[in-house]
Amino acid sequence: MNREVFAAVADALDRGEPAALVTIVSATGSTPQRIGAKMLVFADGRMIGTIGGGCYENDAFWKAREAITDRKPRLVHYELSDDFAQETGLICGGQMDVYIEPIEPSPELYVVGAGHVGFHLARLAHDVGFRVHVIDDREKFANSERFPNAVEIVVDDIPSWIARATIPAHAYAVIVTRGHTNDLEALRALAPRELRYLGLIGSRAKVARIYDALVADQTPANLLTRVHAPIGLDIGAVTPQEIAVSILAELIAVKHGKFTTRETADLSMKWQPPKLAADR
């Protein structure tokens, strides 16, 4: 049975699908399964393997779903002789500890814009374990010579490609194109997507202008509160290399749960949607 679970873990990692691995790590007395028994739980409720069935497996299942969401492991203790076990008649008289471990694929980073900042960010991000995708409409910039470690290089109209692309919800997307119009159109296409991280480069004034333009064009304002903008941690970065470092630092912080998108937006820029004429 564990062979099936291990194969499913490998497949999930290859597909880039998050899951949680549940393992019995200690057991005393009479228990339905031995130490080492495993089951794999997916966000959509699929399960592979078992730790013995019953209400405690159901409880572990829901805790595994939580672990997928908050990306935090947990150790859970079960008394198989208490009322919790009696609900399904599994009165084994034993005790069991279960370790629930989120399984995450290598994070996918979509660098939208292959200019100077995008070039340095892609190189640094690859070095720390991101799978880098590069998107630009200029083959002169988006090519394998400049991005030898990218898993994907796309030369296409940026908003058109985003509209067609399947970008996983656990992905990170960074908008660092060559100009205001390109940034605006990229953000228009990406803002409705469910992403772990979405960042936009630019000064506070530029970001505010882009937000105002999008809201005026009927983009829901609540979508923009999820955007990290201005992008990157405030380390006083000036050069493209330094800006890339500040962006990567923010990506790593989000990856490890140091802050949420909303917290970052609140810290970086107090933007409010423009009032409609009827509200004035």
pTM as predicted: 0.75
What tens digit of pLDDT does each residue of 127-146 get? Answer: 999 999 999 999 999 999 99
What tens digit of pLDDT does each residue of 56-65 get? Answer: 888 999 999 9
Structure tokens at 16: 């880039």
Residue 147: Cβ within 10 Å count: 23
**pLDDT computed for residue 70 by the predictor:** 84
For residue 91, give the DSSP letter. -
Structure tokens at 274: 């423009």
Radius of gyration, alpha carbons of the chain: 23
**pLDDT computed for residue 271 by the predictor:** 52
CATH architecture of 108-279: 3-Layer(aba) Sandwich (3.40)
Within the chain, which residues score under 70 in pLDDT? 1, 81-93, 259-280
For residue 75, give the DSSP letter. E
Consecutive H or E run containing 48: strand 47-49
Structure tokens at 119: 């070039």
Q: What ranges do the domains of the chain cover?
A: 2-103, 108-279
| Residues 243/234, Cβ–Cβ less than 8 Å | no
Q: How far apart are CA 187 and CA 116, in angstroms?
A: 19
